[in-house]
Structure 1
């Protein structure tokens, strides 16, 4: 299947500058293409991941991705999607972010495995060499203020205001495309739907400087919305990060597991590398056996393995199974910290106490009478084992590594008790 046909089947194409021209080009030769990300933070989130999944598909089809980290443009900030000026970061912070994003990209695109059909660049390497006179003479003269004002990324900011710094962003991104065309043979730029104006500006610059016959193309990815109309990737707890310290692999896995039935097949097409036959099979399962959530589990497994690796997936599955079964005895303290991060948490001393008094003092049970009733009825479990004796004592010996005790009330109500000195 032609890579463009595959992207269309997956619903991954929003706009193209020359659809037929690009289709013909990728059929005739292996091309270099690029997508960029600015280091405005020290981790990407799953929204950033969307265009890079397309880059990965081109890589697997034999093409040559060039991944751009915006060490220069990141010091300015893209005005797209914002109504206020971005807070500028120090150069030291930008460099720290560059290093962090570089490590994430290396993991996603298999640099460590010796892949030689992908390259990473930093636009600071060429932009910092250009002085202000060269910038104005060699690049600024090719941009019409009228055209720049008409771009959505700028026009949307005119009422609230936009500085010259952010206004100039599209020139710098266009400069990137031109540099990569000249020096890396890049023919295609990929970006989110909000990058259409920047991409077309880059194509215009290349043709002005290199001649109208220059064969360069642009392709954007559609804005991904959930079936309820809300933005994909946002939760009550905030963004879903690719950094395992910000969003643990278990949390990452659970995010995908909680995908709505109405969205799961679209996400499987968008985010996984499963075949059409396999996705069609899962689509039938969603319709006939939705309670089994096989499509969601497959999506969660594929994405967790892709972003965090096989070992992290195994750990996420282990925590998931422990929570589902109630048998948490095999978990480590670190796995408990990951799996119970957002569950009700209580602080307790390491002193030995009667379990009835202990549950009431913490607030897990509303009264001693209710605590005794729940214990007698077998509704209380401590660290995966039912407690049926109201005279049971709680001590540090009951804890995981002297740090945690897990209380389960009924089948689903977990509480994490952190022990303090």
Structure 2
């Protein structure tokens, strides 16, 4: 449909490519015009850090705040104990309460980079659904909330249907997840006046359930808005690099590696990613996307700088750019490259194999991949082709740091403990 929004927030969502669908464009638009709208996104605490796959909806919360509304980051201290089955082939491993709390602490660091928290009308607030889920009385919950859910309808949602169609087991524990998420929206509306839930398009069924439940129990109108599934122009899921997940916490992925991830964006994705992952005006994003030939690299560097500055600060972005220039243009090693530090004991005697070092440094996922990299002339040692998969690196070879490369764009330093 073509909808012409009156509110700044929906206009931004549309022109920057965030919007896949909305449960009621007119109703949400009217609410956004009428006053401050609290809106939330939920995050289950399944890892110590968020990753690039979460960044699109974090930027949605950022724009919600920039257009005068109130973001709510809801940590899934309760729902993580169940696990979201949406479009998964198997059940998530269950985490202990201590592990969940530790993961929430790790994830909280990132939100403060993008959102301003406080007590003001449009200041963000952070909540944990354990606040209302941990103390639920099962029989009361079944009677008061469970009676509003049709199992027939729940089975028709694509996220559940796809799992059943593949004849993959769906436990009763997981089946309850969508009821708990719907209950989150109800409680957020009741306690904090929350009017909007946002999420990826895979969350549509869960969001609609929450809207229906809140209408039935509280007789309140609330809204849902989803983002498209973000893939790169060559069809890959956004958020994976050659060496694994692109984490947002600096202790799990260095600012340089984060910068490099964006610098390696394919030409066709530059404009789209600038609109989604930076605050740059749309006109500037379009200008950079239109650059041809090698000039598109200017757009990639600006994308890398802007995205890195938002997360790690402008100084980290500048350092990453200068390191990259030193590595690629001058053939130097740079101070900010990912570094593998080995002890003298590890390289005693014959030393450590170059295959093992490639894996330890993160340049290859396995010994098999490292050997293939060498066989296909994709590995370099101090900028010289690495051809011997049986090479052993001993303490003498590490008298000064060595630089390993996988392809043209991925590098690591290897050195001995001082």
Same fold flag (TM > 0.5): yes
Residues 282 and 295, structure 1, Cα contact 8 Å, conserved in 2: yes
**Shift in Å, 1:382:** 7.7
**Shift in Å, 1:276:** 1.7
Q: Which residue in the other structure is 1:273 paired with?
A: 279
CA 1:237–1:413: 2 relative to 1, 3 Å: closer
For each residue in 1:211-257, what CA deviation from the matched residue of structure 2 results, as whole angstroms up to 9, or x when unmatched?
2xx22100000001111111111222111110112221111111100
1:240 aligned onto 2:246: yes
CA distance in 1, matches of 2:99, 2:14: 39
1:303 aligned onto 2:300: no
CA 1:92–1:413: 2 relative to 1, 3 Å: closer
Instruction: After TM superposition, list the pairs within 5 Å mapping 1:90-239 onto structure 2.
Output: 90-111=96-117, 117-158=123-164, 159-211=167-219, 214-239=220-245
Name structure 2 gaps, 5 residues minimum. Answer: 1-6, 341-345, 350-356, 358-379, 384-394
**Equivalences, count:** 366
**Shift in Å, 1:196:** 0.2
**Shift in Å, 1:113:** 12
Instruction: After TM superposition, list the pairs within 5 Å mapping 1:20-419 onto structure 2.
Output: 20-111=26-117, 117-158=123-164, 159-211=167-219, 214-285=220-291, 288-326=292-330, 328=332, 331-332=334-335, 335-336=336-337, 338=338, 404-406=401-403, 416-419=413-416
Name which of structure 1's ranges 318-327 and 83-92 shifts more when overlaid on structure 2.
318-327
CA 1:113–1:240: 2 relative to 1, 3 Å: farther
Larger Rg over CA atoms: 1
CA 1:414–1:108: 2 relative to 1, 3 Å: closer
Q: TM-score, normalised by structure 1?
A: 0.79
For each residue in 1:311-345, what CA deviation from the matched residue of structure 2 results, as whole angstroms up to 9, or x when unmatched?
3213212311220233647x44xx24x2x66xxxx
Residues 14 and 193, structure 1, Cα contact 8 Å, conserved in 2: yes
Q: TM-score, normalised by structure 2?
A: 0.80
SS of 1:293 mapped into structure 2: helix
Name structure 1 gaps, 5 residues minimum. Answer: 342-346, 351-361, 363-379, 384-394
Residues 79 and 153, structure 1, Cα contact 8 Å, conserved in 2: yes
CA distance in 2, matches of 1:123, 1:190: 16
CA 1:405–1:75: 2 relative to 1, 3 Å: same
For each residue in 1:107-160, what CA deviation from the matched residue of structure 2 results, as whole angstroms up to 9, or x when unmatched?
331339999611000000111121111211111111111111111221122220
SS of 1:12 mapped into structure 2: coil
**Shift in Å, 1:414:** 7.4
CA distance in 1, matches of 2:119, 2:257: 27
CA distance in 1, matches of 2:258, 2:328: 17
